[in-house]
Amino acid sequence: MTHTGIVVEGLRHSYGGRPAVDGLSFSVQKGEIVGFLGANGAGKTTTLRTIAGTLEPDAGSVHVAGVDTRREPLVARTKTGYLAEHDGLWDGMTTRAVLAFHGAVRGLEGALLEQRLAWLSQRLELVPVFDKRVRECSLGFRRRIALAAALVHDPEVVLLDEPTHGLDPLQTRAFRALLLEIAPHKAVLFSTHVLQEVEAVCTRVLVLQTGRLVLDAHLRDLRLQAQALHCTVEDLVVRAAARTQAEVATP
C-alpha cells in the first residue's frame, strides 16, 4: 500500500447491534482537506475514532499513511494526529507539560521537541497559557491546546472532530489559516456542522447519513452544479443528507 493519506474500505461498526457505520469506503489523499458532514448520529465521530485507532471496527480496513491500523496500530498512531470531540486534556497539567508529554510519547526529544512546542505555541497563540494549568484555561484555549497536542509530532494524517467548537470568530479564522498552511503536506479529515467552514478550507466534502456515504464530491464540482441548478452548495449538501437509505441503495 503506497497511499500516503487515508484509505477506508468496507468499514462497519455497531453499538449493541445498531450499525453506526455501515460499509463505508472512501480515501483522502495527501494534500487534501476533506470536510466530513452529516447530522448528529450519522456516524462521523465513530468513523474518525476507528481511523484514529481508538475504536476497533467490526469489519473493513483502515490504512493511514500506508499502514494498516489493525495490523500495526501503534505505528499507525504515530502517523496520526487526532483531535477528539471532547478535548481530552488532563486538567492538572500545564499546557507545556501536556504538549511535551504528547511529543515525548511520539518520540520527540530535546531541541526538536522544544522547537515544535515553540512553533505551536506561537502559531496557535498559546503563549499566555503556556505555563498555566489546563483547568485555568478558557474553552477556546483548551480547544487550541488539544489541537496543538494533535499536531505536535507533525503527523501525516490529521483527524479533527469539530475542531472549531468553542472558538471565537478570530480564533476560527486563525485555525483555518493554520489548516491551509499545513495541508499541502498532510491528509486532513475534519467533521463539522458548519458548511461555511467546509467552503472556506476544504477541497472535498463527504456527507454521511445513518452510517452510509451519501455524497463524495469535490467542492469545485459542487459549486458548478449549484450554479447550473440555481441553488447553493448548502442546498446540494442538505439534499444529499436528507436522502433516505432506500434512495441510497437505488442507483
Partner 1 sequence: MTTGSRTGRAAWSRGVYLVARREAQATLDSNVAVATLIVALVASIAPFVQGFFLSGVVDATPFFLALPWTLALCLAALSMRLWSEEVRLRTMETWRALPLSPLQLVLGKWLSALLLHAVYLLLTTPVLLLLAAHGPVEWSRIAGGYMGSLLLGAWLLALGAWISSTTRDQTTAYVLSALTALALLALGDLRVWTVIDGWFPHAQAGSWLAAHLSPLSACQSLARGLVGLDAVVLLLGQTALFLWLNQQSLRAKTR
Number of chain positions touching partner 1 (CB under 8 A): 32
Q: Of the two residues 88 and 184, which places its CB atom closer to partner 1 in the complex? A: 88
Choice from 154, 199, 216, 234 touching partner 1 (CB under 8 A): 154
∠ CA 14-16-17 to the nearest 5 degrees? 60
- Residue 168 makes contact with partner 1 by CB under 8 A: no
**Residue 168: other Cβ atoms inside 10 A:** 12
Choice from 88, 177, 224, 231 touching partner 1 (CB under 8 A): 88
Helix ranges restricted to H, 134-218: 139-151, 169-182, 195-201
Smallest distance, partner 1 to C-beta of residue 74, A? 4
Q: Of the two residues 43 and 53, which places its CB atom closer to partner 1 in the complex? A: 53
Query: Distance between CA 74 and CA 213 in Å, rounded?
Result: 28
**Residue 128: other Cβ atoms inside 10 A:** 11
- Residue 220 makes contact with partner 1 by CB under 8 A: no
- Residue 80 makes contact with partner 1 by CB under 8 A: yes
Q: CA nearest 148: which of 107, 101, 78, 194?
A: 101
Point out which span in 63-71, 75-83, 118-126, 200-208 binds partner 1 (CB under 8 A): 75-83
* DSSP label of 94: B
* DSSP label of 93: S
User: What character string, x for contact with partner 1 (CB under 8 A) and - otherwise, covers 110-149?
Assistant: --x-------------------------------------
Query: Distance between CA 34 and CA 5 in Å, rounded?
Result: 11
Point out which residues bind partner 1 (CB under 8 A): 49, 52-56, 74-75, 77-78, 80, 82, 84, 86, 88-93, 97, 101-102, 104-109, 112, 153-154
